[in-house]
Structure 1
């Protein structure tokens, strides 16, 4: 029997909070969301996540932020709020813009790229985050050991793009951070 829409959303929120953020039941989760209807994220998603999080045993809190096209940091009031909770989940572009900035506290902070209910409740949203971590480790290992890598993406039946990576040894590795370079070439092939 197929899982209903609510069950799929519960699976996506569980994956986000437990598998990805490693939150424990009873912890306070701050859900930071875009307040504007024309933002990147559907503002209703935050309310749905908060409802499901409460049902799963978390203490969700909502914090609305305006859509930011070029944030350079977190407002002091939001930074203080993040410090007071166990976990902060960004359902806002702000999280993506500041993710490479140094963190000012030990609070777990997660950036979700699920823009709406459908994305979080999709099979991808519910696919185990831990399985993706294992898959990434396997790919990293394969790439590190490979001499050549060829990636082909089919655009449609008649067109594809191929990316070829070839490892080249460097004669004087002291001049570079690594003793190898990857030579990258991309070409579009019409068949």
Structure 2
């Protein structure tokens, strides 16, 4: 598979592109260190080959005040499809987009991503798996999440409450199920060495690394404290005080959680070289589960990341030690049987996620 295959998959199977339609690629320059310089040319070439009328617009990167500018709105108005190769699309993914447009946010960040199994696995296969997992959670009476480092929280999903929500744009690749509202969950979450932002807003000291193990304690969707070394606990509390005060948001609210469903999602660089990029590119791997915290809205401003989760849905370990088993949810095996590319990537999952084996 090539980068062109991944970009074509995005345009045909996610954006539902048809010959002659107008495509706007809203991008941020590679100088910002997030999207690769080859991302835009890759998508432009695929769009040209499909017979689309392509426009591009540099929308930059605004860490503190993301918005749809008049110029961008005008460009969207002239388009049938909008593809964001820019963090702006991710920042606004829970916002209302102009009606009647197919808006896609690409979490494939460069040519290597577009050419990998992450982007070349048929998009509709991953959408179908998301649907099956979400349906299983909607019907579940009890969900328990554990990991080898000490995570253990449980509750009833209550997916119909609307608290978890879903985005107003199309994700490509599809790599998570609908967020599970956290208000019915209590227990402990073993943080994987740090606290970091969610990609909603960006701020100084975006990531706080710990010296030792830290567990976050949650009761009915509220942070009640941290457990760990005294200095780490003090630093975590100070971080929450600072971020919640900075934005005037609910300090202790835990909004929702989800795990990755895409075994082709890998991160081959060192996460610590760029936590912002890691957070935006790696979360779709089944080895990562994260919770949206600090703020009563999705996705909040501080994420808790835990590694290699086991997620039992009514006693069935659908995730086991960081491996997602779609055949363990109703309808999952049928998806694998229909889409052999998906079955193939599940048989050879990508384990590299940026900082551990």
Q: 1:129 aligns with which of 110, 117, 123?
A: 123
Aligned to 1:119, the other structure's residue is in SS state helix
Query: Is the partner of 2:108 in helix, strand or coil?
Result: coil
Question: Contact between 2:26 and 2:59, CA under 8 Å: does it hold in 1?
Answer: yes
In the TM superposition, residue 114 of structure 1 has moved relative to its aligned partner by 1.1
* Distance (Å, rounded) in 2 between the aligned partners of 1:82 and 1:14: 21
Over 3 Å counting, the alpha-carbon distance change for 1:18 and 1:96 in structure 2 is same
In the alignment, is residue 166 of structure 1 matched against residue 150 of structure 2? no
Instruction: Please state how far the C-alpha of 1:187 moved relative to its aligned partner.
Output: 4.7
CA root-mean-square deviation: 2.6
SS at match of 1:144: helix
Residues 1:91 and 2:110 are matched in the alignment: no
Say if 1:34 and 1:43, in contact at 8 Å, map to a contact too: no
Partner of residue 188, structure 2: 186
More helix by share: 1
How many residues in Structure 1 have an aligned counterpart in Structure 2? 170
Cα distance between partner residues in 1 of 2:150 and 2:103: 36
Question: Relative contact order (C-alpha < 8 Å, sep 6+): which is higher?
Answer: 1
Q: Distance in 2 between matches of 1:68 and 1:165?
A: 37
Secondary structure at the residue paired with 1:94?
A: helix
C-alpha deviation, 1:79, in angstroms: 0.7
Alpha-carbon offset, residue 152 of structure 1: 4.3
Q: Unmatched 5+ residue regions in structure 2?
A: 164-182, 191-212, 214-357
Query: Looking at CA atoms only, which structure, 1 or 2, has the larger radius of gyration?
Result: 1
1:101 CA displacement: 2.3
Q: Which residue matches 1:67?
A: 61
CA displacement at 1:103 relative to structure 2: 2.2
1:72, distance to aligned residue in structure 2 (A): 3.4
Q: Aligned in 2, Cα 1:82/1:163: closer, same or farther, shift over 3 Å?
A: farther
Find out whether 1:39 has 2:33 as its counterpart: yes
Unaligned runs of 5+ in 1: 154-158, 170-175
5 Å matches for 1:73-152? 73-152=67-146
Relative to structure 1, the CA distance from residue 186 to residue 15 in structure 2 (aligned partners, 3 Å threshold; closer, same or farther) is: farther
8 A Cα contact 2:7 2:42, kept in partner: no
Cα distance in 1 for residues equivalent to 2:136 and 2:13: 25
Given the superposition, is the C-alpha separation of residues 65 and 187 from structure 1 closer, same or farther in structure 2, using an over 3 Å criterion? closer
Question: What displacement does 1:128 show?
Answer: 1.6
Any conservation in 1 of the 2:67–2:92 contact (CA below 8 Å)? yes
Cα distance between partner residues in 2 of 1:39 and 1:163: 36
CA distance 1:130–1:114, shift in 2 (3 Å):
same
Q: Counterpart in 1 of 2:323?
A: none
Shift of residue 11, structure 1, vs aligned partner: 1.8
The 1:85–1:11 alpha-carbon spacing in structure 2 relative to 1, beyond 3 Å, is same
Question: Normalised by the size of structure 1, how large is the TM-score?
Answer: 0.77
SS in 1 for 2:25: strand
For the structure 1 residues 187 and 108, does the alpha-carbon distance in structure 2 shift closer, same or farther, using more than 3 Å as the test? closer
Q: Secondary structure at the match of 2:119?
A: helix
Deviation at 1:117, TM superposition (A): 0.9
Following superposition, the deviation at residue 98 of structure 1 comes to 1.9
